[in-house]
Amino acid sequence: MKTAIAALVFALVVSWAATPWVIRLATSRGVLDQPDPRRRVHERPTPRWGGIAIWLGVVVGLGLAAAGDYLIAGNFFLTHQLLIVLGGATVIAAAGLADDKYDLSALWQFAILVAVSLVVALLGVRINYVTNPFGESLLWLHQASIPVTVGWLFFVTKTIDLADGLDGLAAGVCAISSAALAVLGLLLNTHSVAVVCAAVTGASLGFLRYNYPPAKIFMGTIGAQFMGFMLAGAAVIGPFKVAATFAVVVPILALGIPMFDAVFAFARRAASGKPVYVADRGHLHHRLLDAGLTVNQVILVIYAATLVLSVGALLLALALKG
């Protein structure tokens, strides 16, 4: 518990302190998100690359927490699998850095994300089984474990990427969802996963200080996909390793709003004959805006829905665990 709190605080402070520097860096390099009335709502060029501060917050926060835990208690919570996930997420972040600057094609983004997910799965971070919700037995995936893991990592990463459509939306949703996963990690005694998720929570909150509307900076592809991959990987290492139905339910419900939005977006585009990777203005937050809500009202509604789902999932976990 203390190590998780330390990771959260360290990550929050680093992310908060680094974001003004990132704003200056992105502005000086011309990495700006231009207004686009077709699907964006901001009215002036806004720096991207905010994910650099988030990445620094998570990495430095985990490093400081790990050093403190080792010096005080002689423990080292960064397991081999967590380091693989962190390494994969860092490669994804590097690709996002390039995308924010050069606007890589959707095909390149797809290829990079699938390739990194495949390497992570081949290195041993994979979903080997899921709990049978209709019985006590486990559903072993065998040869299907690798494609299922790749699909999960890809889907959750893109889910957070698609949620990054309004000031403060993705950062707030990630903060709530990662906090829920951190609590679940403590409940399941997977403390290393709890610490990592706590670091993601802290980095998200520190960045949110500058990303909440009106945003001074956007997290960009680098931030959205880094956090998405970290949350997806943490779920593989933590909940999916535990033979309990609630362990699988919690991460799915915690990310329920952006997951629903992503599935609906893909289905909508496919039904209309459009490529699924082509951005549009049909996401949940766009529809709420079109219904007359303000930007602040929309993000608070989605925050509230995410919080309700996360708390409900954790209460269910406690009930089933007890």
The average pLDDT across 139-161 equals 91
Residue matched to tokens 């219904």: 291
Assess whether pLDDT exceeds 60 at residue 39. Answer: no
Assess whether pLDDT exceeds 70 at residue 91. Answer: yes
> What's the rounded Cα separation, in Å, for the pair 46 and 30?
10
Q: What angle do CA 250, 259, 103 make, to 5 degrees?
A: 130
> What's the rounded Cα separation, in Å, for the pair 302 and 200?
19
> What's the rounded Cα separation, in Å, for the pair 322 and 294?
42
Residue matched to tokens 């999960």: 152
Lowest-confidence segment of 37-46, 180-189, 216-225, 290-299 by average pLDDT: 37-46
Q: How confident is the model at residue 69 (pLDDT cuts 50, 70, 90)?
A: confident
pLDDT per position as a tens digit, 296-306: 999 999 999 99
> What's the rounded Cα separation, in Å, for the pair 169 and 149?
26
Question: Domain range holding 158?
Answer: 2-321
The average pLDDT across 304-312 equals 93
pLDDT of residue 279: 64
Total domains in the fold of the chain: 1
Burial of 203: CB neighbours in 10 Å, binned 0-12, 13-18, 19+ = buried
pLDDT per position as a tens digit, 95-130: 999 999 998 888 999 999 999 999 999 999 998 887
